[in-house]
Amino acid sequence: MILNRTTSGGRWRIRPDGPDKVTGKLAYLTDMSREGMLIGRVLRSPHPHAGIVAIHTDNARKIPGVHAVITHADVPGLNRFGIVNPDQPVLCEDRVRFIGDAVAAVAAETPELAALALESIEVEYVLLPVVDDPVQAQSKLSPKLHPGGNVLHRTQYGEGKVEKEFSGCKHIVEETYMTPRQMHTYMETEGGLFIPEEGGRLTVYSPTQHGYKDRMQLARILGLPEFNIRVVSSPIGGSFGGKDELNVQPYGALLALVTGKPVKIHHSRWESVRAGLKRHPMTIKMRTGVDGEGRILAHRVSIIADTGAYATLGAEVLNFCVEHVIGPYRYESVEVEGVSVYTNNGVSGEFRGFGGNQAIFALEGQMDRLAERLGMDPWEFRLLNMRKPEDPGPLGQEIVRTDGAKQVWDALAVNPLWLQRQETSKSEHWIRRGTGAAFVMHGSGLGFGIPDPAGGMLALAADGKIEAIFGYEEFGQGLIATLELMLIEQFGFGADDVRIVIGDTDLVPHSGSSTASRATGMMWKSLQKLRGPFLNRLLKEASSLLSIPTESLRVGIGGIWNDTQDHLLLTYGQLAQGATEEIIYQTHFPFPASPTKRIGAHYLYTYAAVAVQVEVNMLTGRVKLLKQVHAVAAGPVMNPQGFLGQIEGGSGMAVGFALTEDSDMDKGVYLTRNLDTYLIPSWADLNGEIEVQAIEDLPEGDEHGPRGVGEIGSVGIAPAIAEAVYQATGKRLNKLPIDPELLQEVPEFLTKAVDGR
């Protein structure tokens, strides 16, 4: 089904948080303030790599109105953070490893005083050589950034005998692909309000994708029991993976506890760019060979990821990339090795697509190059080598069987944009058009071996509201709207009957993180498990109150109805008042994982086929995206507007990844320090047509329901654009974002004359 307002009919609903967001009425957590609050600021290293000799804070402490100046000596617990591998200092002791590294923090009565306090702190540094190249960082001569050396993580996967298979190949394509240091560029920069409460508790109002994980990390830093900390984390003005790791929380929390006053911290865009995470820049070398019929015999891949100064999820991103450079195809033999390397280049971490974007850019580039060598249609070539539904996953692991791969392949094969790809109407000689396509298999969930809990609660509150209580976060993806629609459609409640409770560790259960395209699927699964017991209980309580057998009662809008649904017999408010005891049901289960024991290997996959049409202006070399089609097989669509929003939004980020975005660095220093030089696509760059086709069928008996779509829209666009550019210009590109200079040509009408001179 092509998803749009018309085809969605009554399911096309204005999201509950929409009007307040578009009018600016909604208060984000970083809009909050409290009387008597102090302003927190962090002093960050001006050097990408230096030793700290001394930190002098006396002058700053003496300024009236400055309530606290803290350094590493003031961290009561573990002076480190990191979701999996805590190796990043909250406040650096003796060394700084990137230009955003935190050295001290202050709390003052005004922003001006806080700025003055920062200026008054003197730090004596000894400059150390900057490690800015992940290849050189691995050499013995390179300075070691961490005690264990500069390799954060190394991993490999192999099957068959690659060297032997290459010798039998008819064609071999070898290419090195490079991808940019993309920034999440969320609208709301990092920040929060930190309030010390009575009884030694601390309330943290600060965006994150996983409130409980922040609570755990903060407890570790503050040396407090976890239950002494309450993390309120939604609504969030965008995250895209960038706020999953801690950012300002340690400083706000420490300053609030030290001063005993509420403290607010909110990054400027400048500070956000400097301190925030980025997508891992990767260099992916691929050598892939086929036989005369086009079957892939050998695929050898080497991945180098620049993980920057600290680990955060660098190892996990690399694992994901290793799995996805193998992706949806069958190989006689495959050999992949990957390394994630520490450098002084900022910090790379989690970002929508999680290493898949880099992997698929390279893998699909190989597919197009091989098809061309073979003289085959590139789409037919993909089908020839595609994994069959009964096949194992990329790492040889057992996966949940679906027909998604073939379904999206078929959908694109008959799409008019793809069928008419040879038609190249153009307005000027120097405008050239081309169409390219890419195929994506994207895993959801955290993967085998990583704790991946899920769950939720349903309750009838005292005021008669049906409460859906989940530990997931709303960061713009439409989680609230999707959950509401599920409750309406699957339970029969009215929109006014339900209250969604999320983003508060004092109220919600452990549901795992809102990452890895997992939240919608896990809410669906939770509701499936809760539906029977919860509805039965409502009917049972109603039955005893009304003295009518449950068989004659129905759950509906506003309350309990008679079986023909023409009389409302009992409102939910009355039911709540009359119930014998609290009506509350909870479920807890792990995200489904493959029985194959390979760390990080995925079990559930979403499939997508993407085609784009571009126009290249040969005078300037600039690429404009005209049309795009996405066919996505992700099971039933829970919320059409949300589904469409995820694909369109993901695509927008991918257009930036392909055409404009890169955090340029020179010797560990950002050259793009604000949004006037770091350019995300504007409306004018994204105003081409987008068609999203949702393929909802799942095999009979499938018990996993909707698959994730949060990331997949951001994966296939870049390779499709690269191929479309090749079709338009005859120029193969291996580096993103695309450099217009490589495409630009002297106008054709001059060439002859120029040559003839």
Partner 1 sequence: MASEHENMLMSMSPSVLHPRDMTEAWTFKKLLDSDAVYVAGGTLLRTQWESGQAAMPKHLIDLSSIPGLKGIEKEEHSLAIGALTPLSECRKDEHIRLHCPMLVDAIRSIAAISVRNVATIGGNIVSRVGDCLPVFIVCQADFEWNTGLSPMTEDASEWTERLQAQLPKASHLLTRIHLPLFKTTEIVPRRFGAFHKVGRREAFTPSLITVALNGGLKADGTVGEIRVAAGGGQTIPHRLFAAEKLMKGQQINRELLAAVHQTIVDGYKPKPDPFATEAYRKKTAANLIVAELWKIAAGPSDEGRERDDP
Instruction: List residues near partner 1 by CB under 8 A.
Output: 62-64, 112-113, 115-116, 270, 427-430, 619-622, 624, 659-660, 664, 666, 671, 673-674, 676-677, 679, 681-685, 740-741, 744, 746-747, 749-750, 752-754, 757
DSSP three-state, residue 571: strand
Among 365, 411, 367, 359, CA closest to 385: 367
Among 728, 654, 517, 647, CA closest to 180: 654
Least distance in angstroms from the C-beta of 648 to partner 1: 17
Q: Sort strands 88-89 and 80-81 into parallel, antiparallel or unpaired.
A: antiparallel
Least distance in angstroms from the C-beta of 660 to partner 1: 5
666 vs 306: CA distance, rounded Å: 14
Q: Do residues 629 and 417 lie in contact, with contact meaning Cβ atoms separated by under 8 Å?
A: yes
| Residue number, 628 or 639, with CB nearest to partner 1 | 628
Structure tokens at 137: 């960082």
| Residue number, 216 or 742, with CB nearest to partner 1 | 742
Q: Sort strands 229-232 and 202-205 into parallel, antiparallel or unpaired.
A: parallel
Least distance in angstroms from the C-beta of 119 to partner 1: 8
Least distance in angstroms from the C-beta of 690 to partner 1: 16
Least distance in angstroms from the C-beta of 318 to partner 1: 29
| Residue number, 476 or 681, with CB nearest to partner 1 | 681
| Residue number, 22 or 684, with CB nearest to partner 1 | 684
Q: Using only C-alpha atoms, what is the Rg of the chain?
A: 27
Least distance in angstroms from the C-beta of 98 to partner 1: 19
- Distances in Å between the Cα of 747 and the Cα atoms of 190, 614, 743, 754 are 47, 19, 12, 10
68 vs 117: CA distance, rounded Å: 10
Least distance in angstroms from the C-beta of 620 to partner 1: 5
| Residue number, 191 or 600, with CB nearest to partner 1 | 191
Structure tokens at 103: 């050295």
596 vs 593: CA distance, rounded Å: 8
> Residue 746 burial (CB < 10 Å; 0-12/13-18/19+)?
exposed
| Residue number, 124 or 666, with CB nearest to partner 1 | 666
223 vs 210: CA distance, rounded Å: 20
Least distance in angstroms from the C-beta of 21 to partner 1: 19
Dihedrals φ, ψ of 681, to 5°? Answer: -60, 140
| Residue number, 618 or 632, with CB nearest to partner 1 | 618
- The strand ranges marked E within 102-167 are 102-108, 122-127, 151-159
Least distance in angstroms from the C-beta of 270 to partner 1: 7
Least distance in angstroms from the C-beta of 681 to partner 1: 6
Q: Do residues 395 and 603 lie in contact, with contact meaning Cβ atoms separated by under 8 Å?
A: no
| Residue number, 509 or 681, with CB nearest to partner 1 | 681
Least distance in angstroms from the C-beta of 485 to partner 1: 35
Least distance in angstroms from the C-beta of 666 to partner 1: 7
Q: Do residues 154 and 145 lie in contact, with contact meaning Cβ atoms separated by under 8 Å?
A: no
Sign of the torsion formed by the C-alpha atoms of 376, 378, 381 and 383: negative
| Residue number, 31 or 739, with CB nearest to partner 1 | 739
Least distance in angstroms from the C-beta of 5 to partner 1: 26
List CB contacts of 440: < 8 A, sequence separation 6 or more. 327, 328, 356, 360, 607, 608, 609, 610, 712, 715, 716
Least distance in angstroms from the C-beta of 271 to partner 1: 12
| Residue number, 59 or 138, with CB nearest to partner 1 | 59
| Residue number, 77 or 740, with CB nearest to partner 1 | 740
251 vs 481: CA distance, rounded Å: 33
Verify cis geometry, omega within 30 degrees of 0, for the bond prior to 235.
yes
Least distance in angstroms from the C-beta of 65 to partner 1: 8
| Residue number, 414 or 753, with CB nearest to partner 1 | 753
464 vs 733: CA distance, rounded Å: 60
Least distance in angstroms from the C-beta of 62 to partner 1: 6
> Residue 172 burial (CB < 10 Å; 0-12/13-18/19+)?
middle
Give the chain's end-to-end CA distance (angstroms, integer): 58
| Residue number, 61 or 295, with CB nearest to partner 1 | 61
487 vs 386: CA distance, rounded Å: 38
Least distance in angstroms from the C-beta of 618 to partner 1: 8
| Residue number, 450 or 619, with CB nearest to partner 1 | 619
| Residue number, 54 or 684, with CB nearest to partner 1 | 684
Structure tokens at 595: 């029985």
519-546 and 479-491 helices, crossing angle to 10°: 40
CB-side neighbour CA atoms (13 Å) of 189: 14
> Residue 40 burial (CB < 10 Å; 0-12/13-18/19+)?
buried
| Residue number, 134 or 621, with CB nearest to partner 1 | 621
Among 71, 78, 79, 34, CA closest to 197: 34
| Residue number, 128 or 675, with CB nearest to partner 1 | 675
Among 517, 528, 533, 537, CA closest to 455: 528
